[in-house]
Amino acid sequence: MTITTRQLLGGVVGLVAAATSFAGPEEDRKAFQSFYFDRFPQVTDHADFKNGVYSILPEARVQWEQIEEFPPYELAIEEGQALFEKPFANGKSLADCFPNGGIGIRQNYPYFDTARGEVVTLELAINECRTTNGEKPYPWKKGPLASVSSYMAYTSRDAMIDVKIPDDPRALAAYEDGKMHYFTKRGQLNFACSDCHMYGSGQNLRSETLSMSYGHTTGFPVYRAKWQEMGTLHRRLAGCHESVRAKAFKAQGPEYRNLEYFLAYMSSGLEINGPSARK
């Protein structure tokens, strides 16, 4: 199927409903997940939504599973581990900056730091650890940062996303900002994230099947065939904005961090399966 004008108008109705709703985050999460459960009844094991479109496209899933036998992100995991364990000039390493030495913690990110009053993503924390210890930060969208994040995600595989919204009005405001971002239309094409990945999920846009937002954050960083390399979530978010002819926000700026906070909270309860391979 392709997206029709009527279906897009249905998305507008959903947008208005979302914008005028006073439901709390937990009510949002339940409604958000139920939307996908109802839309894709063939996915009887809801945990499979972590696999994106491969949970609803049997033929594509077979090809993806073959790729996973020799995954293209293996080198990134190896490189990431080496960078993670490499001592800084002061003798410390990335492990010194994270709980549990940075192992098995991906599921807790992003989180709202009540001391700072802002959302902290894993990639932000990695680079802040480097700069705090006198090292240069990595580029935000790909390269070493994606590799280190890949390794840390790999150590967290099968752990369930456990993003929380603390009892702090600033945390709720960050969540609501991410939610509003998700439902706000932008760009010359006048599309919102929800138009493609909620109301249009499972449908075809040119040769691509639009993925579901439920489970979007579980597999990052990802190796995309289009990129021929690894990329972070914020690289993908920027690409989505550019696809609808909107100006992308700065990677790790508050706009994308809050959007990631919203998306990760919506996927609470799903397992981390990053890094992953996607088309």
- Average pLDDT along the chain: 93
pLDDT of residue 132: 98
User: Contact 256/234 with Cβ under 8 angstroms?
Assistant: yes
Pairing assessment for the beta strands 204-205 and 222-224 based on DSSP bridges = unpaired
Q: Which amino acid is it at 129?
A: C
pLDDT of residue 20: 41
Q: At what angle do helices 254-266 and 233-243 cross, to 10 degrees?
A: 100
pLDDT of residue 279: 84
| Residue with more model confidence, 70 or 16 | 70
pLDDT of residue 206: 81
Instruction: Kindly give, in sequence order, each residue whose CB lies less than 8 Å from that of residue 108, ignoring residues fewer than 6 positions away.
Output: 99, 162, 163
Per-residue pLDDT reduced to its tens digit, 95-143: 999 999 999 999 999 999 999 999 999 999 999 999 999 999 999 999 9
The span from the CA of 132 to the CA of 142, in Å, is 21
Mean pLDDT in residue range 69-91: 97
Candidates 3.40.50.261, 1.10.760.10, 3.30.300.20, 3.30.420.270; correct CATH number of 74-154?
Answer: 1.10.760.10
Q: Which amino acid is it at 13?
A: V
The span from the CA of 215 to the CA of 274, in Å, is 11
Domain span(s) for CATH 1.10.760.10 in the chain: 5-71+169-278, 74-154
Per-residue pLDDT reduced to its tens digit, 44-60: 999 999 999 999 999 99
Q: What is the largest CA-CA distance in the chain?
A: 60
> 170-193 as b/e, with b when 16 or more CB fall inside 10 Å?
ebeebbebbbebbbebebeeebbb
The span from the CA of 123 to the CA of 111, in Å, is 12
| pLDDT value at 1 more than 80 | no
pLDDT of residue 180: 98
pTM listed for this prediction: 0.91
User: Contact 14/199 with Cβ under 8 angstroms?
Assistant: yes
Instruction: Kindly give, in sequence order, each residue whose CB lies less than 8 Å from that of residue 97, ignoring residues fewer than 6 positions away.
Output: 125, 128, 129, 132, 133
The span from the CA of 157 to the CA of 133, in Å, is 28
Per-residue pLDDT reduced to its tens digit, 220-278: 999 999 999 999 999 999 999 999 999 999 999 999 999 999 999 999 999 999 999 99
Instruction: Kindly give, in sequence order, each residue whose CB lies less than 8 Å from that of residue 114, ignoring residues fewer than 6 positions away.
Output: 166, 168, 170, 171
Beta-carbon-side half-sphere exposure of residue 12 (alpha carbons within 13 Å): 8
| pLDDT value at 13 more than 80 | no
For the question of residue 240 being annotated catalytic, the response is yes
| pLDDT value at 2 more than 50 | no
pLDDT of residue 22: 60
pLDDT band of 207, cuts 50, 70, 90: confident
DSSP state letters, 207-264: TEEPPPSTTTTTT-SEEETTTTEEE-HHHHHHHHHHHTT-PPPPTTSHHHHHHHHHHH
pLDDT of residue 208: 87
- The CATH architecture to which 5-71+169-278 belongs is Orthogonal Bundle (1.10)
pLDDT of residue 10: 44
Q: Which of 97, 129, 196, 240 is catalytic?
A: 240
